[in-house]
Amino acid sequence: MLCFSLGVNTMYQAYTGNRVQTADGSVTQMKETYSSLGITFRNLYWSFYGYLAPWDYQLIVGNAGPNQEPTEHAITNYIGEVTIAAFHIAVVITLLNLMISMLVRTADDVLKNEDLEWKFTRCHIYLEYFEWYTAIPPPFNLLYNTASMIRMTISSDYQFVIPVGIYTVLSFNFN
């Protein structure tokens, strides 16, 4: 990033403060986007996040000739755009390689612990099977819950008890 900052700053620093007066009389001044190495470095850093627009690196040369017509340095402007585009391509390729290496590392860690992962998943499935509720899909859970309630009411293993607090709430006193 420092090398790209140095290259872009070298190209654009000579144009800092230039003004051009167009035929309609309006004056445009060169932005200080690349006026020093620090500002150039900061602008290229923020361009990672999309805060660099094409009009930020447009060259303002000035007026020249007997008629004071606006002058352009098309080659310098083009080379500046190509340099900044090469910077973005290098950043994207670097970040893409970083992402791929992190994915490979994560997959490698999972493969190293493959047996442990399998045992953990199997234990989790067994635990779910032996819990007090069952994981039956929605249409069938109604049948299971109804059958369980009928079995609990008929069986002598369970006793139906109404708590005292509910009994007092259910009894109405109209005095």
What's the average model confidence in pLDDT over 6-26?
85
> What local confidence, expressed as pLDDT, does residue 135 receive?
64
How far, CA to CA in Å, does 22 sit from each of 26, 34, 69, 92, 129?
A: 6, 23, 7, 38, 80
Structure tokens at 175: 């005095």
Taking 80 as the threshold, does the pLDDT of residue 73 lie above it? yes
* pLDDT(60) > 60: yes
Contacts of 79 (CB under 8 A, 6+ apart): 11
In 3D, which of 32, 35, 47 has the Cα closest to residue 10?
A: 35
Q: Which pLDDT score is estimated for 50? A: 79
| Residue listed under structure tokens 């259910």 | 170
pLDDT-based confidence at 55, cuts 50/70/90? confident
Whether residue 115 has pLDDT greater than 70:
yes
Q: Quick one: pLDDT band at residue 70, thresholds 50, 70, 90?
A: confident
The pLDDT of residue 170 is above 70? no
Q: Which helix (H) or strand (E) holds 64?
A: strand 62-64
- pLDDT > 70? residue 164: no
Region 149-153: what's the mean pLDDT? 85
Mean pLDDT of 152-158: 81
